[in-house]
C-alpha cells in the first residue's frame, strides 16, 4: 500500500476535527473566552490528561460501548488543548502533532506502506524506537521510559526492556519463586518496623509481581483494576447482606463479616478473563 492509497474510513472526520479546534480556540480566546480555560497551562492540564486516559481504560474494561466515544472525546480534547496552547506560543500546532504521528507510523511499518517484509516487523520497530531515543539523547537499554507512568506499568516496561537483551527469567515459575523470596525478606523486616526498610522490601515485592505479570503476558495495571472491581463488588454484597439484618457493617463482629464475605464470594464467581488484561503483542507493547 502506498501513501497515496490510504483508505478513507472516516469521511466526516476532517470537518468534525476542524469544529473541535474552533471550539478550543473560542474557549481560549483572550477576550471572549472562558476564564478557566484561559488560565490553564501545560502543567495544569497534565492531571486531567492522566485522569481522562484512565477513564478511557475503565470504559473499555467495562465494554461500555456507549460511553467509550465520550471518554475518547475527552482524551482527544486534551490533545487539542495542548496543541492550541503551543500554537499560541509559536511552538507547534495540531497539524504538527497529527502529521508527526502519521509519519512515524508510516515509517515504522514499511511492510504496509512500502516494500518491507512482514517478517522483520519487530526489527524495524525496534530500530525506529532506538533511533528516536538517540535523537532525544535517551541512551541505554532503559532510556526513554517515562517516569510519570503508573509504577506497575513502568516496572513491567523496565523488565521488558531488560528482557530484550537477555536479562530475563527462563520461566514464569521462577518469577513466582522470586516473589516468595521477596515476601520472606519483607517478613524478616516486620519486627524491626523500620519504615525505610519496609518500603524497600515491599517495593521489591511489587516490582517482582509486575515482572511476573509481564512474563505471563498480562498487563499488571489491568490485573489490579480487575481485582479492585472484584473486591468492591464482593464487599458491597457483604455490606448489603448485613444491612438487610438491620445492622450496619461496623456493628458486625469479625466472624460475621467473614461468613458474609464467604457468601458474597460464592455468589460472585470469577468472570471470564478480560482481554484488556493481556499485553498488546509486540512491537507496539515494546514502546
Share of the chain above pLDDT 70, in %: 84
Flag whether pLDDT at 287 surpasses 70. Answer: no
Q: Which fold has domain 13-108?
A: Helix Hairpins (1.10.287)
Q: Give the model's confidence band at 62: pLDDT under 50 very low, under 70 low, under 90 confident, else very high.
A: confident
Question: For 168, which DSSP code?
Answer: S
Contact in structure between 225 and 58 (CB atoms under 8 Å): yes
pLDDT digits (tens, 9 = 90+) for 231-278: 999 999 999 999 999 999 989 999 999 999 999 999 987 665 565 566
pLDDT at position 282 is 43
Other CB atoms within a 10 A radius of the CB of residue 252 amount to 19
| 3-class SS of residue 218 | strand
pLDDT at 3 (0 to 100):
54
Tell me the backbone φ, ψ of residue 191, rounded to 5 degrees. Answer: -65, -40
Query: Taking every pair of C-alpha atoms in the chain, what is the biggest distance, in angstroms?
Result: 72
* Rounded Cα–Cα distance for residues 234 and 262 (Å): 9
Ordered alpha helix ranges (H), 116-219: 121-135, 151-164, 172-188, 195-215
- Average pLDDT estimate for 24-46: 95
In terms of residues, how long is the chain? 287
CATH match for 151-216 among 3.40.50.2000, 2.30.110.10, 1.10.10.350, 1.10.287.1080: 1.10.287.1080
What does the pLDDT look like over 99-158, one tens digit per residue?
A: 999 998 888 888 888 777 766 666 666 676 667 666 666 678 888 888 888 899 999 999
pLDDT digits (tens, 9 = 90+) for 211-221: 999 999 999 98
DSSP string, 8-53: ---TTHHHHHHHHHHHHHHHT-TTTS-HHHHH--HHHHHHHHHHHH
Extents of the domains making up the chain: 13-108, 151-216, 220-277
Mean pLDDT over residues 82-88, rounded?
97
Predicted local confidence at residue 7, as pLDDT? 82
Whether the per-residue pLDDT at 283 is higher than 90: the answer is no
Q: How far is CA 80 from CA 76, 255, 287, in A?
A: 6, 54, 23
pLDDT band at 208 (very low <50, low <70, confident <90, very high): very high
Amino acid at each position: 500500500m502506498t501513501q497515496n492509497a490510504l483508505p478513507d474510513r472516516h469521511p466526516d472526520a476532517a470537518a468534525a476535527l476542524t469544529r473541535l479546534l474552533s471550539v478550543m480556540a473560542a474557549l481560549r480566546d483572550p477576550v471572549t473566552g472562558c476564564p478557566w480555560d484561559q488560565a490553564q497551562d501545560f502543567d495544569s492540564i497534565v492531571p486531567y490528561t492522566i485522569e481522562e486516559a484512565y477513564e478511557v481504560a475503565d470504559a473499555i474494561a467495562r465494554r461500555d460501548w456507549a460511553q467509550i466515544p465520550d471518554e475518547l472525546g475527552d482524551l482527544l480534547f486534551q490533545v487539542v488543548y495542548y496543541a492550541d496552547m503551543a500554537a499560541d506560543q509559536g511552538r507547534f500546532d495540531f497539524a504538527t502533532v497529527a502529521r508527526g504521528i502519521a509519519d512515524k507510523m508510516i515509517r515504522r511499518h514499511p511492510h504496509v506502506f512500502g516494500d518491507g517484509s512482514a517478517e522483520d516487523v519487530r526489527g524495524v520497530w525496534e530500530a525506529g524506537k532506538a533511533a528516536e531515543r538517540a535523537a532525544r539523547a535517551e541512551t541505554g537499554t532503559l532510556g526513554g521510559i517515562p517516569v510519570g507512568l503508573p509504577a506497575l506499568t513502568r516496572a513491567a516496561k523496565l523488565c521488558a526492556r531488560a528482557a530484550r537483551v537477555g536479562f530475563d527469567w527462563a520461566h514464569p515459575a521462577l518469577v513466582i519463586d522470586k516473589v516468595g523470596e521477596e515476601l520472606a525478606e519483607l517478613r524478616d523486616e516486620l519486627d524491626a518496623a523500620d519504615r525505610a526498610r519496609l518500603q524497600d522490601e515491599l517495593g521489591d515485592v511489587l516490582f517482582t509481581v509486575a515482572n511476573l505479570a509481564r512474563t505471563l503476558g498480562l498487563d499488571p495495571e489491568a490485573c489490579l483494576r480487575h481485582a479492585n472491581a472484584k473486591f468492591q463488588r464482593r464487599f458491597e454484597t457483604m455490606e448489603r447482606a448485613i444491612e438487610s439484618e438491620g445492622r450496619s457493617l461496623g456493628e458486625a463482629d469479625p466472624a460475621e463479616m467473614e461468613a458474609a464475605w464467604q457468601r458474597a464470594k460464592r455468589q460472585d464467581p470469577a468472570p471470564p478473563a478480560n482481554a484488556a488484561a493481556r499485553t498488546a503483542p509486540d512491537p507496539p507493547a515494546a514502546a
